[in-house]
A and B are shown apart, each in its own frame.
Chain A
Amino acid sequence: MTKTLAKIALAATALLVAQMALAEAGGAMIGRTCNGCHGTDGVSKGAAPSLKGLPADYLAKAMKDFKADARPATIMNRIAKGYSDAELGAVAQYFATMK
Chain B
Amino acid sequence: MSEFTRRKFLKFAGAAGAASAAGLTLSGCEGPGAGASAKSSQASTGPAHVVVIGGGFGGATAAKYIRKLDPSVKVTLIEKAKTYYTCPGSNWVLGGMRTIASIGQTYDSLASKHGVKVVHDWVTGIDAEKRHVALESGGHMSYDRLIVSPGIDFKWDGIEGYNEEVSKTIPHAWKAGHQTATLYQQLAGMRDGGTFVICPPPNPFRCPPGPYERVSMVAHFMKQHKPKSKIIILDAKPKFSKQGLFTQGWKDLYGFGTDNSMIEYIPSPNGKVVRIDAKNRVAIAGDLEEEYKADVLNVIPAQKAGWIAAHSGLTNESGWCPVNPLTWESTLVPHVHVIGDSSIAGKMPKSGYSANSQAKVCAAAVVDMLAGREPGTPSWVNTCYSLVGPNYGISVAAVYTLSEAGVVGVKGAGGLTPADGNRSLEAIYADSWWTNVTDDIWG
Residues of A within 8 A of B (CB): 10, 13-14, 17-26, 29-30, 32-40, 44-48, 74-75, 78-83
| CB <8 Å contact, B428 and A22 | no
Q: Contact at B436–A78, with CB atoms within 8 Å?
A: no
Q: How far is the CB of A19 from chain B (nearest CB, A)?
A: 6
A24 to nearest B CB, angstroms?
6
Residue of A whose beta carbon sits closest to that of B364: A29
Which size bracket describes the interface of B in this complex? 35 or more
Q: Is B379 an interface residue (CB 8 A)?
A: yes
Asked if residues A74 and B422 are in contact (CB atoms below 8 Å), the reply is: yes
Q: Please, how many angstroms separate the alpha-carbon atoms of A87 and B216 in the complex?
A: 38
Residues of B within 8 A of A34 (CB): 381
Of B6, B364, B399, B425, which is within 8 A of A74 by CB? B425
Interfacial chain B residues near A74, Cβ < 8 Å: 395, 417, 421-422, 425-426, 429
- B353 contacts A by Cβ under 8 Å: yes
| Contact present for A36 and B25 (CB under 8 Å) | no
B435 interfacial by beta-carbon distance below 8 Å: yes
Interface check B412, CB cutoff 8 A = yes
Interface residues of B in 276-294 (CB under 8 A from A): none
Contacts of B376 in A (CB 8 A): 25-26, 29
Extra A-B contacts (11), CB below 8 Å, given A36-B381, A36-B436, A82-B410: A17-B6, A18-B7, A21-B4, A36-B383, A36-B437, A37-B433, A38-B436, A40-B439, A48-B436, A74-B417, A75-B426
A95 to B2, CA, bound (A): 25
A87 to B435, CA, bound (A): 27
**Residues B440 and A40 in contact, CB atoms below 8 Å apart:** yes
Cβ-neighbour of A46 out of B30, B398, B436 (below 8 A): B436
- Contact in complex: B432, A33 (CB < 8 Å): no
Chain A residues near B415 (CB-CB < 8 A) = 78
Q: Could you say which residues of chain A place their CB within 8 Å of the CB of B426? A: 74-75
Stretch at the interface among B41-49, B140-148, B355-363: B355-363
